């Protein structure tokens, strides 16, 4: 049996999840469910990046112990996956001691390869933010935006560096040859454009003081903690046993796919493969990069007050409606826009009037005849359409075009509506029974196709075909 290991990005948990996280969870879940349905052995991993300094700062502000703070927030992310019917097989926390050990192992492998060295790092440090800034991140007075009027200090600190510069050519080759496949092509081009400039070595540790004694300790040096990205990326490995369970690790690594947002492309396309190359480990096969979601065509932000709470969406419309909207309306690898108006229009047109209504009318028609769902089609046209849809789903999902796949599935719905109109199976006739049976079989195929996208709805359709009419799948929203 083929294995398929897929991950979401590892969100840093200094706040609550927003709909961007929901989008990514849903996309990854659909792919995982699709492969699972095909019979492959699938593992879907997510987790929480808990070792970032930002977590410490956010915890301080909330006046909560750091561990407690990240535990609470991580729980919310996990809860979101449940709310969305997203099935994580592993949820690896960055504060898990096994993860710490695992990251130390990765560090030691890189060190053994001679790719880690110590060097003084000098930069502009804002005491207020407790962060280093580069000049272009500062305002015209060379002060940070959070703390105007406060001069930045030049701080120098000994850190460990990773010889990223040594991997330039290898990375270019890997990306060019699609050995590290990056989807969509525009993101691949961006990486290649970036790799045209000479790579600089990167700092991969912080002083304990600056890290506030939080995060993974550097092996054999108690005075330093790992730079958060070094360990965060390794959650992809630590969650499947790297450093503590060789058998499990060997079974799943390398990752077949990392699903990530466009903002963290460089870490995944350059740093991560370089760390793995240094450590002599296999590389992930594919990076799928999605865009960001705007709300009413504006960037989501706390200050604008337009942040959409995914939990609220789910409790208002249901998990499958939320899944449907994000998969159908947000272009899978570009930015997309959310608005309640778009959501409700989509919902009423496709879910209430389309799918839900079709199921209701067919299930009612079924009660007119004594029949159960047949095992095959009698109508050739319908059969051809369904078979064609099966291959179209396969094709479009291999290119992560969720929207196209759903569009193809909806063609079956439109066909069935027309078929009913034309055949008038509510009237008694010689072919009444066969028409209804065709529809029943069409719906059972529909349920199969919908399973990765709308798992709960898929289940309900099968149930209604079996047990007769129940409550509406998607009650119409009055606007």
11 DSSP assignment? -
Residue 356 binds RNA (CB under 7 A): yes
| Residue 432 engages RNA in binding (rule: CB under 7 A) | no
Among 67-75, 98-106, 349-357, 444-452, the segment contacting RNA (CB under 7 A): 349-357
d(CA 258, CA 261): 10
Q: For this structure, is 147 an active site residue?
A: yes
The vertex-56 CA angle with 218 and 299, nearest 5°, equals 115
Interaction between residue 360 and RNA (CB under 7 A): yes
- Residue 29: beta bridge partners? none
100 catalytically annotated: no
For residues 183 and 187, give the distance between their C-alpha atoms in angstroms, rounded to a whole number.
Answer: 7
Q: 299, 316, 414, 418: which one is catalytic? A: 299
306 makes contact with RNA (CB under 7 A): no
Contacts of RNA in 100-129 (CB under 7 A): 123
SS3 27: helix
- Under the binding rule (CB under 7 A), the answer on residue 190 touching RNA is yes
Interface with RNA (CB under 7 A), residue total: 64
The nearer residue to RNA, 26 or 164, going by C-beta atoms, is 164
Report the C-alpha gap between 97 and 109 in whole angstroms: 19
Buried b (16+ CB within 10 A) or exposed e, 71-81: bebbebbbebb
Strand 257-261 vs strand 3-7: parallel, antiparallel, or unpaired?
parallel
**Residue from 54, 163, 390, 459 in contact with RNA (CB under 7 A):** 54
- Categorise residue 389: left if φ over 0, alpha if ψ from -120 to 50, beta otherwise: alpha
- Asked whether position 339 contacts RNA by CB under 7 A, the answer is no
Quick check: 414 binds RNA (CB under 7 A)? yes
Which of positions 314-333 make contact with RNA (CB under 7 A)?
A: 329, 331
Binding to RNA by residue 474, rule CB under 7 A? Answer: yes
Q: Does 262 bind RNA (CB under 7 A)?
A: yes
Establish whether 126 is a catalytic residue. yes
DSSP 132-171: EE-GGGS-TTS--TTSTT-PPEEEEEEEEEE-GGGGHHHH
Considering only 31, 43, 52, 295, the residue that binds RNA (CB under 7 A) is 52
Choosing from 70, 109, 232, 446, the residue that interacts with RNA (CB under 7 A) is 232
- Write phi, then psi, for 267 (nearest 5 degrees): -65, -35
User: Minimal distance in Å, beta carbon 1 to RNA?
Assistant: 35
CA distances (Å), 465 to each of 98, 113, 425, 453, 458, in order?
47, 61, 17, 19, 11
Active-site residue (options: 140, 196, 302, 422)? 302
Name the site residues for RNA (rule: CB under 7 A). Answer: 12, 49, 52-54, 123, 131-134, 136-137, 164, 186, 189-190, 193-194, 197-200, 202-203, 227-229, 232, 262-264, 266-267, 329, 331, 334-336, 345, 348-349, 352-357, 359-361, 364-365, 414, 417-418, 420-422, 426, 472-476
Q: Give me the active site residues, please.
A: 18, 21, 126, 129, 144, 147, 299, 302
């Amino acid at each position: 049996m083929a294995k398929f290991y897929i991950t979401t990005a590892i969100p840093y948990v200094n706040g609550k999840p927003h709909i961007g996280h929901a989008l990514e969870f849903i996309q990854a879940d659909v792919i995982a469910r699709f492969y699972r349905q095909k019979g492959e052995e699938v593992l879907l991993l997510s987790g929480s990046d808990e070792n970032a300094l930002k977590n410490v700062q956010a915890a301080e502000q909330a006046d909560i112990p750091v561990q407690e703070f990240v535990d609470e927030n991580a729980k919310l992310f996990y809860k979101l996956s449940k709310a969305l019917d997203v099935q994580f097989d592993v949820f690896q926390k960055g504060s898990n001691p096994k993860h710490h050990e695992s990251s130390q192992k990765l560090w030691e492998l890189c060190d053994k390869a001679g790719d880690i060295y110590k060097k003084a790092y000098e930069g502009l440090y804002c005491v207020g933010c407790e962060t280093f800034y580069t000049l272009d991140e500062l305002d015209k007075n060379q002060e940070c935006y959070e703390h105007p009027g406060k001069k930045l200090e030049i701080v120098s600190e000994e850190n460990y560096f990773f010889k990223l510069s040594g991997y330039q050519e290898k990375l270019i080759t890997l990306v060019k040859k699609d050995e590290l496949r990056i989807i969509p092509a525009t993101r691949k081009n961006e990486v290649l454009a970036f790799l045209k400039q000479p790579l600089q070595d990167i700092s991969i540790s912080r002083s304990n003081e600056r890290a506030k004694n939080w995060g993974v300790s550097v092996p054999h040096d108690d005075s330093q903690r790992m730079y958060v990205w070094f360990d965060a990326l390794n959650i992809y490995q630590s969650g499947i046993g790297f450093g503590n369970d060789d058998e499990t690790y060997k079974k799943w690594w390398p990752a077949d796919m990392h699903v990530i947002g466009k903002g963290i492309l460089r870490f995944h396309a350059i740093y991560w493969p370089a760390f793995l190359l240094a450590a002599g480990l296999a590389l992930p096969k594919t990076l799928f990069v999605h865009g960001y979601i705007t709300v009413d065509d504006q960037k989501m932000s706390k200050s604008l007050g337009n942040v959409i709470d995914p939990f609220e969406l789910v409790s208002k419309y249901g998990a499958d409606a939320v899944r449907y909207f994000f998969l159908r309306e947000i272009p899978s690898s570009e930015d997309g826009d959310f608005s309640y108006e778009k959501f409700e229009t989509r919902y009423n047109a496709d879910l209430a009037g389309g799918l839900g209504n079709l199921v209701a009318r067919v299930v009612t028609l079924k009660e007119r005849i004594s029949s159960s769902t047949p095992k095959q089609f009698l109508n050739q046209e319908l059969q051809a359409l369904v078979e064609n849809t099966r291959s179209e789903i396969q094709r479009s999902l291999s290119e992560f075009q969720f929207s196209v796949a759903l569009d193809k599935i909806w063609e079956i719905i439109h066909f069935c509506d027309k078929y009913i109109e034309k055949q008038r199976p509510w009237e008694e006739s010689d072919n009444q029974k066969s028409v209804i049976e065709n529809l029943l079989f069409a719906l059972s195929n529909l349920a199969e196709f919908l399973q990765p996208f709308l798992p709960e709805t898929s289940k309900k359709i099968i149930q209604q075909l079996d047990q007769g009419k129940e409550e509406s799948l998607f009650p119409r929203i009055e606007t």
